[in-house]
Structure 1
Amino acid sequence: MVANIESWFIPFDVFMIICISLVVILAIIFLIIIIIDRACHTVPMMLIANLCLAEFLFGSDLLSMVIFTLRNDLYQIDHDDIFCNFRGYLSYVGYALQNYCFLLQSIYRYLTVIYPTDLFYQSTKFQCFLICLTWLFSFIYAIPFISMNQIKFNLDNQICQMPLGFSFFGIYTALCIYGIPISLIMMVYFKLVQYVKEMNKRAMATNILMRAERELKMLRRTVIIVLIIIIIGLP
C-alpha cells in the first residue's frame, strides 16, 4: 500500500518546518538572554524562561514530527518508525506543559496582587516547586498513552496520535491538557477582575491600584493567548 500524497502536502510540510524552526530558535535565544543577563534573574523572568523551555521541548518534538511527515510524503511511505510513538507521547507532554506554564504565570500575578506582603508565595523556591510539579505532572499523566498502547499511527496525517473520538482517554486527555489549566486560569482571572473592581471602590493607594491593574492587563493577555492556542489546537 502506498500513501496517497496530495501535491500541496510537501510545500505545506516545508512551511511548517520553517515556522516551527523559528519558534525553536526564538525560544533558545530568549533562554540564553535570560540566563546571561543578570537583570533577568527574577521570578517573573524565571516563569518566562520556563515557558521558553517548554516551547523549546514542544517545538522540537513538533519539528521532528513534521520532518518525519515530509520524509513520508516525499518517498510515499505509509508506515511509522520506531520513534513515532515517543514523538506522539512528547507532543501531549509539550501541549500540557505549555498550558501549565501559562497557569503558573497567572497564579504568580494573582499572588503579587492579592498577597503582596506574603513573600513566601512569590519566592524563587516556591515558584521552582510549582514549576517542578507541573513538569512532573505533564510527563506522568501521558505515560498511560504509551503503556496502554493508545497512540496509533495516523496514515492520513502521517503522525502518531491517539484516535480522535469520545473515549475515556479522550476525556482524560482533554481534562489534563485543557480542563484543569484553563479552568484555573479563568478562575484566577475573574477573581483578579473582581478584586480590582473592589479596589476601585475603596480609597486605595494609587501605586497599589496601578500595579493591580497592570497585572490584570498582563493576565488578560495571557487568557487571550491561551484561548487562541486552544482554538488553533482543536481538531
Structure 2
Amino acid sequence: MLVANSYLTGFVLGIETLSMGVFTLQNDLKQIEYQDSLCIIRGYLSYSLCAVENYSFLAEALYRYMMVVYPNYLFWQSARTQLLFLCSTWIFALIFPIPFIFTGGIIYNVDNQICQLPFQLSISLVFAATCVFALPMSMTIFIYLRLVQYVKEMSRRVVLTNSLSRAKRELKMVRRLVILVIIIFAVASPYALFVLISFFTAPPKYHFRIGYIFIDLSVASVMIALLQFTDPLKASIKKIIYGRSNTVIPTMT
C-alpha cells in the first residue's frame, strides 16, 4: 500500500508539473503576461504534492522501522496502520500550504510565468522549504541510520535467523528509500541553490524555469528508480508492453 502510494504520488506530481509547463509555454507563445484562474491552485499543488512524495518515503521508512524494532506488535503490521500513515501524510501535505493562498504568499511571477512563493528571505519560504524538503528527507535518513545501528546490534546478539533475515530485508528497503531521497536532492539541487541564494541576493531572472526543469528531472528519475526497485511492477509492465510469451504445448500422440 505504501509503495503504491509512492507511485501514485509521483504520477500525480508529474501531471501537475506538466500542466505548469504547458501553461508557461502557452503564455510564452501567446506573449501573455497575466495569470489564469488556476495559477494559484497549481502553485499550491506544487508544494503539496512535492511534500506528499517526500513524506510518503518517510512514512514507508517509519513503517519498516517499526516492523523491525517491534515485530511482536501486530498493530504495526496491519493494513490499518499503513492507511493511518498514508492519511496523515496526505492531510498534512494538503493543509500546510493553505496559509500561502490566503495570505497572498503565492504570487504570479511574470518572467517565469508561474505562481510560487517569491524567492526571498521570508518566513513562508523557509517554512515551505522545511516542510517540503528538509524535514522529511532528514528524518528518512535518520531512520535509516537508526535501523542500521539496530540491525548491527541484532547481529551481535543471539536472535532467530528468521528475525535477522527479515530485519536485513527491511533495512534493504529503507536503504532504497534513502537512495530515492538522495536522487531527489541531487537532481533538484539547483532549485535548492536558488532558494539559498535568494536569502542573500536576488536569484537569476529565470530561476523558476531553471529550477523546475531539474524538479521535473528528479520526478522522472524517482519514477524510474521506483520501477527498477520493484520487481513485481517491472514484470507487470514488461508483460503489458511485450505481451505474454507464446507457450508451445506438445500434443500427445
Which bracket does the TM-score occupy, shorter chain normalised? Answer: 0.7 to 0.9
Q: How far apart, CA to CA, are the structure 2 residues paired with 1:184 and 1:151?
A: 27
Q: Report % sequence identity.
A: 48
**Cα offset for 1:156?**
2.6
In the alignment, structure 1 segments of 5+ residues that lack a partner are 1-45
Which residue does the alignment assign to 1:74? 29
C-alpha displacement of 1:157: 2.2
Question: Where do 1:156-235 residues align within 5 Å?
Answer: 156-234=111-189, 235=191
Matches within 5 A, 1:89-104: 89-104=44-59
- Give the equivalent residue in structure 1 for 2:68: 113
Name the CA distance, whole Å, in 2 between partners of 1:159 and 1:63: 12
TM-score by length of 1: 0.76
Partner secondary structure for residue 144 of structure 2? helix
CA distance in 1, matches of 2:112, 2:154: 51
After TM superposition, where is structure 1 displaced by more than 6 Å over at least 4 residues in a row?
A: none
Within a 5 Å distance, the mapping from 1:25-104 to structure 2 comes to 46-104=1-59
- Mapped to 2, the partners of 1:61 and 1:100 lie a distance apart of 18
- Give the Cα separation in 2 of the matches to 1:68 and 1:86: 13
**Aligned to 1:101, what secondary structure does the other structure show?**
helix
Which amino acid is 2:64 matched to? R
Amino acid paired to 1:176? C
The aligned amino acid for 1:108 is: Y
Q: For residue 166 of structure 1, give the secondary structure of its aligned residue in structure 2.
A: coil
Relative to the length of structure 2, the TM-score reads 0.71
Unaligned runs of 5+ in 2: 192-253
State the alpha-carbon separation in 1 of the partners of residues 121 and 100 from structure 2. Answer: 15
CA RMSD, aligned part only? 1.4
Q: Which amino acid aligns with 2:132?
A: I
CA drift of 1:65 comes to: 0.5
